[in-house]
Chains A and B, each alone.
Chain A
Amino acid sequence: MRESGSTTVRAMTWARRRRAFSRVWRELRHDRPGFIGLLLLSGFGLFALSAPLIADRSSLLAASGRNNPDLAAPSSKFLLGTDEIGRDVLAQLVWGSRVSLFIGLLATVVAVVIGSLVGLAAGYAKGKISAVLLAIDDFFLVVPFLPLAIVLAVILGRSPTTLAIVIGFTSWAGSARLIRAQVLTLSERAYVERARALGAGSWHVIVRHVLPGVAPLIIANATLIVPTAILTESTLSFLGFGDRLSPSWGKLLDGAQSSGSITINAWWYFLPPGLCIIGIVLAFTLLGRALERIFDPRLKGR
């Protein structure tokens, strides 16, 4: 009977996962806000990927505006006009989407990894370890987030990677709380107790039983951290604490503001990055909320 194969434990697991995935996909397709979020997000993804097709990287260089008029309104040559030193705004917008997305996603990975580890540990291990972890978590929850990020950005430097790490490092506290709560309820469930009774060690219980249970929550939560991270990057760049030499959307807004473009109404300079930030934050939020609804049946119908 072994050669039929399809009935091995591994195959059964995969079949179950496939089923779960298609269920999520089906529900997401019927969740209108979530589906719109997904579409928007795909649009931004395509936009970022198409950067080399839309503009050459060299048009990001400061001196690339050499022969262009400064703060020129949109025209057939510059679809979104030029900035205060004659650079193509569209080029910066499209390449900037890569920087913003990169920072947003990397920061989320950092936040989710720290948040999950702390959440799992604090939820599973009780007693002193849990108390200490919770105290650290509380600290990060109450400490004013922006000043902390600014201080870290100043100390650690301003490359996109360090910025992402800084943002991730300052935004994991909420998810740790969430995950801990879920872990607490899960570890009281009968199947976890059964596994323990059968002699499973902590590692086995966490990896095989608890983690799969919190995974959907982690995914939904991560989708909601991305927009915060992108917003934070934009805020830091806008305040002048970002990486001056990478064309992120926040940097574009900073440039528009410091050159006075808002006052002289050069809308093509500040409106597109502003709309892009709003758009991507909206997309991630819609998708994240939809995933939350799908993974957590208790939220359904609300």
Chain B
Amino acid sequence: MSRRALGFIATGALGFGLLAAGLATNASAQDKLVFSVGVTQDIDSLNVTVGYLVIDFEIWNLTLPSLTDRSAEDFSTLPSMAESWTASDDGLTWRYKLREGLKWSDGEPMTADDVVYTITRAVADGWINHRSDLANITATAIDSRTVQVVSAVPDPKLPYLGSYILPKHVYEKISTEEMPNYLADDNVSGGPFQIVERKEGEFVRLARNPNWHGKKPTIDEVVFRMYETAEAQFNALKAGDLDAIDDVPVKLFASVAAGEVENIIGLAGNQGSFSELAINSGCAKGIGDGHVALKDRKVRQAINWAIDRQLLVDKILSGFGVPAVSLIPSANPAFDMKISADEAYSYDPAKANALLDEAGWKDSNNDGVRDKDGVELKLRYYDRSTAGATATTPFLTGWLKDVGIATDVKTFDEDSLIAEQSKSEFDLYTWGWTPYVDPDNMLSYFTTSQVPTDPDVGGYNDANWCNDEFDALYLKQNSELDPTKRAELIQQMHEIFFDEAPYAVLYKYDNLQAFRSDRWQNFTRQPSDVGPVLFSQSSPVYRDLEPVGTRGGSSGTNTMIIVIVALVVAGGVLVALANRRKEDPDDRQ
């Protein structure tokens, strides 16, 4: 061994020793109970009027209060800010009584004023995440602890009112024009936790909110750490740097589920999350430049018949999911489309070809791509750079090519992709949704009112699709109090959506999450037994988590071991160096 190599090892060991020493001081300084969650999705915006990613919702669930909550067991309505409520005889007027002594994290009182202010402003400014819940609602304050809510139509969602309530004393200073650009860095919280530190693209740290009215969480802090890749995140969990992760790569999850990884448990939870290929259907009332062929329902149906959903489930999800042919409107599977297997879209390229022929798209110039009136059937295919989403692209583009549809694939990060969607300037694009409990929101996204008409504002209708019949049925189910009748109306909406095919819905997938079982217990799932632990509808797990055994004991021992090992290695190398000098002095040139 030459001298340089030895020197390198010695320096390396010294560095390692210093690093370990650093870790040790760090561990002794922090006596807090911290729950670290790894995520591969960065926050889009903490501003509840514009954010749309699952991670955003998780943080709002922890920091923003609402009148009512959902139970972890079965989503039933629970008191939260409101301790009780009463309804008028016609069911249109509800009175919510707030708890006594509610306070925001900055000490300001939390009153009926905050609730009325939020509801009124959300309706007036059309806040995207409040729109569906509050569409028909007006609110007034009877006194500082009583809110009266009047619904213009009978509302099947009431008395549940889960819209995030914002602190009036912060938001009244922000004008409607400034609102979309507001960074929500006030850190005023009304939930169980409050944001104390955030580094964009790196982490968000939340500490327990002392003014929270509900059950006091055992943990002191929650940290969400952003990771570039799901594998890096998994290895951080294995190494003990993280306590929980979402989005475990399926093959790794399979090994965790088989019990092959020590101290880690995997939980596959389902809450109706699904993936789809959105098809720009060219709504006449919208904007954009979708391919002319996609305005034809037959072409959109053909795309649906060209896809082998079962193979996607087998290969991409390793079976942790099921094929789906219509949107999944609710975390509750009772609202899924009921359709027999022989009617549902299945892998049938012959049928796809027949439909495309029927629509007049034929390969007249024999270049392998269909065309009509001189226009080639070549589609812009926009891909999301998130790991799971990209896996479907080679499959889908291959199957489309098989039926004579060429694709031009471009990959975007989520923000840039949404920017394209807000202009409706795409032909096909991959995305996915996690629905709420009530089907109303998800259904509302496909009404004409959500079709983007202004690129700066955008809209949730990302298929740029509109249908009057669907709109009418939406309004009908929205005010139908009889659950059976409402379910029937929703099935009719499914039939239209299926037939019109603005989406090629691919599958409903499980959220694959993994946890350090040697450190934590009480992994509350929502709903119980089948739902996810992280990124659930109302995030109850952070209030329920309990540490296993004594606090931080194991990590201290680990650090000690690292220090000892480092010292031994460093010592050994020094000895080796010294010996080498004695043995052959000639070697030291």
Do A and B belong to a common assembly? yes
Point out the residues of chain B lying under 8 angstroms from A264, CB to CB. Answer: 251-252, 255
A244 touches B249 (CB 8 A): no
Q: How far is the CB of A214 from chain B (nearest CB, A)?
A: 36
Judged by a CB distance under 8 angstroms, whether B522 is at the interface is no
Judged by a CB distance under 8 angstroms, whether A245 is at the interface is yes
Contact size range, B: 20 to 34
Nearest A residue (CB) for B248: A260
Q: Which of B207-215, B393-401, B483-491 forms contacts with chain A?
A: B393-401
Given contacts A62-B398, A66-B311, A85-B315, contact A257 B229 (CB under 8 A): yes
A157 touches B315 (CB 8 A): no
Q: Bound complex: CA of A126 vs CA of B306, how far in Å?
A: 63
Point out the residues of chain A lying under 8 angstroms from B238, CB to CB. Answer: 263
A70 touches B231 (CB 8 A): no
Interchain pairs with CB closer than 8 A, number: 67
B311 touches A240 (CB 8 A): no
Judged by a CB distance under 8 angstroms, whether B234 is at the interface is yes
Per-position contact with A for B360-397: 1 when CB-CB < 8 Å, else 0? 00000000000000000000000101010011011101
Point out the residues of chain A lying under 8 angstroms from B54, CB to CB. Answer: none
Nearest B residue (CB) for A65: B315
Q: Bound complex: CA of A259 vs CA of B387, how far in Å?
A: 9
A244 touches B251 (CB 8 A): no
Nearest A residue (CB) for B249: A260
Judged by a CB distance under 8 angstroms, whether B476 is at the interface is no
Point out the residues of chain B lying under 8 angstroms from A262, CB to CB. Answer: 231
B316 touches A85 (CB 8 A): yes
Q: How far is the CB of A73 from chain B (nearest CB, A)?
A: 14
Q: How far is the CB of A158 from chain B (nearest CB, A)?
A: 7
B251 touches A257 (CB 8 A): no
Q: How far is the CB of B231 from chain A (nearest CB, A)?
A: 5
Judged by a CB distance under 8 angstroms, whether B551 is at the interface is no
A70 touches B308 (CB 8 A): no
Q: Bound complex: CA of A74 vs CA of B230, how far in Å?
A: 26
Q: Bound complex: CA of A63 vs CA of B391, how far in Å?
A: 12
Point out the residues of chain A lying under 8 angstroms from B315, CB to CB. Answer: 62, 65, 70, 84-86
A263 touches B234 (CB 8 A): yes
Point out the residues of chain A lying under 8 angstroms from B395, CB to CB. Answer: 62-63
Per-position contact with B for A237-277: 1 when CB-CB < 8 Å, else 0? 00010001100000000000111111110000000000000
Q: Bound complex: CA of A94 vs CA of B427, how far in Å?
A: 34
A63 touches B398 (CB 8 A): yes
Given contacts A63-B399, A244-B383, A245-B397, contact A259 B249 (CB under 8 A): yes
Judged by a CB distance under 8 angstroms, whether A61 is at the interface is yes
Q: How far is the CB of A296 from chain B (nearest CB, A)?
A: 27
Judged by a CB distance under 8 angstroms, whether A71 is at the interface is yes
Q: How far is the CB of A271 from chain B (nearest CB, A)?
A: 16
Q: Which of A63, A84, A85, A244 is B390 in contact with, Cβ under 8 Å?
A: A244
Q: Bound complex: CA of A157 vs CA of B412, how far in Å?
A: 11
DSSP class of B's interface residues: helix, strand, loop or mixed? helix
Judged by a CB distance under 8 angstroms, whether B181 is at the interface is no
Point out the residues of chain A lying under 8 angstroms from B26, CB to CB. Answer: none
Given contacts A71-B251, A84-B251, contact A263 B231 (CB under 8 A): yes
Per-position contact with B for A47-84: 1 when CB-CB < 8 Å, else 0? 00000000000000111011000110000000000001
Per-position contact with A for B471-514: 1 when CB-CB < 8 Å, else 0? 00000000000000000000000000000000000000000000
Nearest B residue (CB) for A62: B394
Q: Which of A66, A85, A240, A260 is B234 in contact with, Cβ under 8 Å?
A: A260
Q: Which of A62, A65, A261 is B251 in contact with, Cβ under 8 Å?
A: A261
Q: Which of A62, A240, A244, A258 is B231 in contact with, Cβ under 8 Å?
A: A258
A258 touches B249 (CB 8 A): yes
A63 touches B230 (CB 8 A): no
Point out the residues of chain A lying under 8 angstroms from B231, CB to CB. Answer: 257-258, 260, 262-263
B251 touches A70 (CB 8 A): yes
Judged by a CB distance under 8 angstroms, whether B410 is at the interface is yes
Point out the residues of chain B lying under 8 angstroms from A85, CB to CB. Answer: 315-316, 391
Q: Bound complex: CA of A183 vs CA of B552, how far in Å?
A: 67
B394 touches A244 (CB 8 A): yes
Point out the residues of chain B lying under 8 angstroms from A61, CB to CB. Answer: 394, 398
Judged by a CB distance under 8 angstroms, whether B176 is at the interface is no
Judged by a CB distance under 8 angstroms, whether B318 is at the interface is yes
Judged by a CB distance under 8 angstroms, whether B132 is at the interface is no
A157 touches B410 (CB 8 A): yes
A260 touches B410 (CB 8 A): no
Nearest B residue (CB) for A243: B409
Point out the residues of chain A lying under 8 angstroms from B308, CB to CB. Answer: 63
Judged by a CB distance under 8 angstroms, whether B47 is at the interface is no
Point out the residues of chain A lying under 8 angstroms from B76, CB to CB. Answer: none
Q: How far is the CB of A58 from chain B (nearest CB, A)?
A: 10
Point out the residues of chain B lying under 8 angstroms from A258, CB to CB. Answer: 229-231, 249, 387
Q: Which of B318, B383, B385, B387 is A70 in contact with, Cβ under 8 Å?
A: B318
Point out the residues of chain A lying under 8 angstroms from B397, CB to CB. Answer: 245
Q: Which of B232-279 contact A (CB under 8 A)?
A: 234-235, 238, 249-252, 255
Q: Which of B424-458 contact A (CB under 8 A)?
A: none
Q: Which of A162-212 contact B (CB under 8 A)?
A: none
Judged by a CB distance under 8 angstroms, whether B411 is at the interface is yes
B411 touches A263 (CB 8 A): no
Q: Bound complex: CA of A271 vs CA of B326, how far in Å?
A: 41
Q: Bound complex: CA of A258 vs CA of B232, how far in Å?
A: 9
Point out the residues of chain A lying under 8 angstroms from B409, CB to CB. Answer: 158, 244-245
Q: How far is the CB of A119 from chain B (nearest CB, A)?
A: 35
Per-position contact with B for A266-301: 1 when CB-CB < 8 Å, else 0? 000000000000000000000000000000000000
Given contacts A70-B318, A244-B393, A257-B231, contact A263 B410 (CB under 8 A): no
Kindly name the residue among A71, A262, A263 whose own CB sees the greatest number of chain B CB atoms within 10 A: A263
Nearest A residue (CB) for B252: A260
Q: Bound complex: CA of A244 vs CA of B397, how far in Å?
A: 11
Kindly name the residue among A158, A260, A263 whose own CB sees the greatest number of chain B CB atoms within 10 A: A260
Q: Bound complex: CA of A158 vs CA of B411, how far in Å?
A: 9
Q: Which of B229, B255, B311, B411 is A244 in contact with, Cβ under 8 Å?
A: B411
Given contacts A244-B393, A244-B409, contact A263 B252 (CB under 8 A): yes
Point out the residues of chain B lying under 8 angstroms from A65, CB to CB. Answer: 315
Q: Bound complex: CA of A61 vs CA of B235, how far in Å?
A: 30
Point out the residues of chain B lying under 8 angstroms from A263, CB to CB. Answer: 231, 234-235, 238, 252
Q: Bound complex: CA of A110 vs CA of B421, how far in Å?
A: 36
B394 touches A260 (CB 8 A): no
Kindly name the residue among A62, A158, A244, A257 whose own CB sees the greatest number of chain B CB atoms within 10 A: A62
Q: Which of A72-128 contact B (CB under 8 A)?
A: 84-86
Q: How far is the CB of B183 from chain A (nearest CB, A)?
A: 25
Point out the residues of chain A lying under 8 angstroms from B230, CB to CB. Answer: 258, 260
Q: Bound complex: CA of A85 vs CA of B318, how far in Å?
A: 9
Q: Bound complex: CA of A61 vs CA of B234, how far in Å?
A: 29
A63 touches B251 (CB 8 A): no
Nearest B residue (CB) for A239: B228
A63 touches B252 (CB 8 A): no
Contacts A/B (CB < 8 Å), 22 sampled: A61-B394, A62-B315, A63-B308, A63-B398, A65-B315, A70-B251, A70-B315, A84-B250, A84-B251, A85-B316, A157-B410, A158-B409, A158-B410, A240-B385, A244-B390, A244-B393, A244-B394, A244-B411, A258-B249, A260-B252, A261-B251, A264-B252
Which residues of B are in contact with A by a Cβ distance under 8 Å? 229-231, 234-235, 238, 249-252, 255, 308, 311, 315-316, 318, 383, 385, 387, 390-391, 393-395, 397-399, 409-411
20 A-B pairs besides A258-B249, A260-B230, A264-B255 with CB distance below 8 A are A61-B398, A62-B395, A62-B398, A66-B311, A70-B318, A71-B251, A84-B251, A85-B316, A86-B315, A240-B390, A244-B390, A244-B409, A259-B249, A259-B250, A260-B234, A260-B249, A263-B231, A263-B234, A263-B252, A264-B252
